[in-house]
Amino acid sequence: MVGTPTASAVFDFESILPQLDFLPIAARRALDHAGLRLSLEAWRSLSLDDRCILVAAGADDVVDAPAVTAVVRRATPPAQRIEVVGDPDPLAPPDALLRLPTDPSPLDARQWARLRALDRYALAHVHRRSIARNDPTLIQAAYEDIVTGHLRSLRPPADDRDRGSSMPPPVVPPPPPLPRTDATHRSPARHSARPRPRRSLPPVPRGAARRLSLPASIRPSMRAPLRPSPRSRLRSHPRLPAGPDPLLLLDPPVLPAPRFPRPQLLARALPRHTNAPYFQSPGLASPRPSSSPRTSPPPAGRMVDVGPKPVTERRAVAAASVRMARETFRRLSHRDTPKGDVLAVARVAGIQAAKRTSELIPLCHIVALTSVEVHMELDASACAVHITAVAQAADRTGVEMEAMVAASVAALTIYDMLKGIDREMTIDDVKLLEKSGGRTGHYQRREA
């Protein structure tokens, strides 16, 4: 059984527990730090305990490369040596991840820094895989499992939040009364018998509230003349008794109204690289509030940089089938067709299409093909032509698309040459059967 440390290092979106039949991302990280590459056959030759050791090593923040190398020596066939691949920058996430349209909020540098080293490696690895396969659901599932799950773990439990919302607000005691300093103190009974008239202070000057909340950073820059202080009027008031100055309780002191510069002058004083939303340019005549925040459109696509990858032998096998009516199949078998030898023309068309894959698929690299083969098999029981295309190259990227384009174009050519006889033909089962070479090693389709 897979232990708890290993289970915590394998993500839910990988769906490879408990037997670890395929390489988890944690094991790939451990192999990259050790400068090794294992094929799927070599991975399955290891025992379950050895696989768990590699997964646990990849989950550590610092990978023990010698321990990984000692475990990989027991694999058959032996591992390949590659350049050591490190982790992404923990402080600066890749720009492509920052531009992902993810919910509930996009990834930022703060969230990126709080993730584990394995989590950052997994996001970068799955993002490259989603671009290579043109499948955005891969990175969306990884983001939901890693980033969104991490944010949920940081939130307090729901019962704690409810308990905190139901607690009554703290009781603030009232301030103590000011001490009386006048000599004529009256008893409570006499005071209640003849109530004393309420004294009122002079009215506060207009705009005093704004002056009291004025920041201290702009006070030295004011050049307005000071008005007569209310303190002098209070002291000269004939009806007020001697006692503490009520304006001493005001903090900060009363200041004159500030004179803010006009928007035109403030706009000219701002630096040109400012991001203030209320000014578009130094020549703006009046302030205008910004509209809804602008979001950059998602990128239309990009070609993956394969320069750092080593040159290895690449091979891919793809298949396709053309199904037709029985009479059409009989005429094809006897070479009784209006356009001549259908199979020979389709074979040449598939080879030519494989060499021009980069012109048909926008983001495919130009691959130096060393061999392209297109085989055709007639199936009388199903009235179909089964096409198999094999592409080989020595390059930094795979040839899966070359093989699939060859099989597809060969099938389309058969349809084109026989459409005058049968327009109800169908092209089915265009798929990749096998591929080898490259970082991911050997792959073979498992038929249901």
The residues assigned a catalytic role are 416
Residue 371 near residue 391 (C-beta atoms within 8 A): yes
Q: Are 399 and 372 in contact, with CB atoms under 8 Å apart?
A: no
Give bridge partners of residue 426 from the DSSP assignment: 323
First to last CA, the chain: 27
46-50 own/partner pairs: CB under 8 Å, 24+ apart: 46/71, 46/74, 46/75, 47/74, 48/2, 48/19, 48/20, 50/74
Q: Which residues partner with 374 through β-bridges?
A: 389
Q: Is 447 left (phi over 0), alpha (psi -120 to 50) or beta?
A: beta
| Residue partners of 311: CB distance under 8 A and separation at least 6 | 394, 395, 396
Cα(7)–Cα(9) distance, integer angstroms = 5
Amino acid at position 135, single letter: D
In sequence order, which residues have a C-beta less than 8 Å from that of residue 34 and are 6 or more positions away?
63, 65, 68, 69, 72, 84
Dihedral angle computed from the Cα positions of residues 82, 83, 87 and 91, in that order, rounded to the nearest 10 degrees? -160
Angle at 311 between CA 120 and CA 315, to 5 degrees: 95
> Kindly report the CA angle at 208 between 202 and 210, in degrees rounded to 5?
160
Ramachandran class of 443: left when φ > 0, alpha when ψ lies in -120 to 50, beta otherwise: beta
Q: How much of the chain is helix, strand and coil, in % rounded to 5? A: 40, 10, 50
DSSP count for the chain of H helices, then E strands: 19, 7
